């Protein structure tokens, strides 16, 4: 009798997934997204399936079947290890999710965290049974692009805004990104490989990546707004993907300016709705986005073991 027949599953770690395992995990994630109405893991974890980044991979195997998956990004600097997990819809309720979470947090070391996307009841139940506490909230905000009417864009004197011109912009883009998000576990510390991986994605459009410069120092980037289009939604939706401002340029209204420029771009492209993600405790960002008509749509929660 096979493990699949008995329901006994094995947890196995991989530093790099084989193409077959990566395909099976991709199919599991797609099915979970269709069943739950929310993706169980982030874009970063999906990119990691094919070897991008430093993630480790934990599979729950029932014979040859991939019944569950967890991704673990190791701790770096002051940032704790971050995990994400998903269980095949047909294999839920058998303790696979609980064991994936426990193994990923143990491997991640002290302070390791695991994301639960969409605040789903099943994920909350696993967190309760595992004795986990919520330590971080990420909000998804949305707004229609037609109404309320977007404010007009007024670029102040001394600021020049253009779109991405190619890899020659990468060093400044990475400098500002890493300075703006040095506190952020996922967005900070990017290298050229993280940027190249996203530039290679089918959704990437250089005309949707806006860069703001000081007219007196045209080679020094002050901030950027990277937009994205989710073609997998029906109808497609735009995203305020990343807005990053050089800390030395804070207080000049560049965040609002660049956000507005991107929103106009997405509206003019014919999209009806736009979404973004922001930390719940980033009061300045939440205030800016609410002032631009955004409202909460769903919540992602990071859990950790207390103490």
What pLDDT was estimated at residue 6?
A: 41
pLDDT digits (tens, 9 = 90+) for 249-266: 999 999 999 999 999 999
User: Over 50: is that where the pLDDT of 2 sits?
Assistant: no
Q: Which long-range contacts (CB under 8 A, 24 or more apart) does 204-207 make?
A: 205/229, 206/163, 206/164, 206/165, 206/166, 207/163, 207/164, 207/265
DSSP state of 254: H
Q: Measured between alpha carbons, how far is 6 from 219 in angstroms, rounded to an integer?
A: 63
Please give the average per-residue pLDDT across 41-50, as a whole number.
93
pTM, 2 dp: 0.83
* Helix (DSSP H) and strand (DSSP E) numbers for the chain: 9, 12
pLDDT digits (tens, 9 = 90+) for 206-237: 999 999 999 999 999 999 999 999 998 999 99
User: Over 80: is that where the pLDDT of 307 sits?
Assistant: no
Q: Measured between alpha carbons, how far is 128 from 111 in angstroms, rounded to an integer?
A: 17
Please give the average per-residue pLDDT across 10-24, as a whole number.
97
Residues 6+ positions from 216 with CB-CB distance below 8 Å: 158
Nearest to residue 11, comparing CAs of 63, 69, 59, 62? 59
pLDDT digits (tens, 9 = 90+) for 109-124: 999 999 999 989 989 9
DSSP state of 80: P
Average pLDDT, the chain: 94
Calculate what percentage of the chain has a pLDDT beyond 70: 98
Q: Measured between alpha carbons, how far is 13 from 63 in angstroms, rounded to an integer?
A: 15
Residue 99 burial by Cβ neighbours in a 10 Å radius (0-12, 13-18, 19+):
buried
**Contact yes or no for 306/133 (Cβ under 8 A):** yes
**What is the number of other CB atoms lying within 10 angstroms of the CB of residue 271?**
22
The confidence band for 1, taking pLDDT boundaries of 50, 70 and 90, is: very low
Please give the average per-residue pLDDT across 284-289, as a whole number.
90
User: Over 80: is that where the pLDDT of 4 sits?
Assistant: no
pLDDT digits (tens, 9 = 90+) for 66-112: 999 999 999 988 889 999 999 999 999 999 999 999 999 999 999 99
Calculate what percentage of the chain has a pLDDT beyond 90: 88
Residues 6+ positions from 270 with CB-CB distance below 8 Å: none
What pLDDT was estimated at residue 166?
A: 96
Residues 6+ positions from 3 with CB-CB distance below 8 Å: 9, 10, 61, 62, 63
């Amino acid at each position: 009798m096979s493990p699949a027949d008995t329901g006994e599953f094995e947890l196995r770690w991989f530093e790099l997934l084989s193409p077959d395992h990566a395909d099976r995990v991709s199919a599991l994630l797609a099915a979970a997204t269709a069943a739950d109405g929310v993706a169980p893991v982030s874009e970063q974890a999906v990119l990691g399936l094919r070897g991008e980044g430093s993630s480790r991979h934990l599979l729950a195997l029932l014979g040859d079947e991939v019944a569950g998956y967890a991704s673990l990004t190791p701790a770096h600097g002051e940032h704790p290890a971050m995990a994400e997990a998903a269980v095949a819809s047909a294999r839920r309720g058998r303790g696979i999710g609980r064991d994936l979470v426990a193994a990923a947090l143990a491997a991640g070391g002290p302070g390791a965290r695991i994301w639960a996307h969409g605040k789903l009841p099943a994920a909350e139940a696993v967190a309760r049974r595992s004795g986990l506490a919520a330590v971080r909230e990420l909000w998804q905000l949305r707004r229609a692009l037609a109404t309320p009417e977007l404010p007009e864009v007024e670029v102040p004197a001394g600021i020049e805004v253009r779109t991405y011109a190619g890899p020659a912009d990468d060093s400044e883009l990475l400098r500002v990104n890493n300075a703006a998000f040095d506190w952020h576990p996922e967005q900070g510390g990017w290298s050229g490989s993280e940027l190249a991986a996203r530039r290679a994605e089918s959704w990437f459009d250089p005309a949707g990546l806006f860069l703001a410069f000081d007219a007196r120092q045209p080679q020094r980037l002050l901030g950027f707004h990277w937009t994205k289009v989710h073609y997998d939604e029906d109808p497609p939706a735009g995203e305020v993907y990343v807005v990053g401002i050089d800390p030395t340029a804070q207080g000049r209204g560049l965040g609002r300016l660049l956000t507005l420029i991107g929103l106009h771009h997405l509206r003019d492209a014919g999209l009806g709705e736009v979404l973004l993600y922001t930390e719940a405790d980033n009061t300045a960002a939440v205030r800016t986005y609410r002032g631009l008509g955004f409202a909460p749509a769903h919540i992602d929660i990071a859990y950790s073991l207390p103490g």
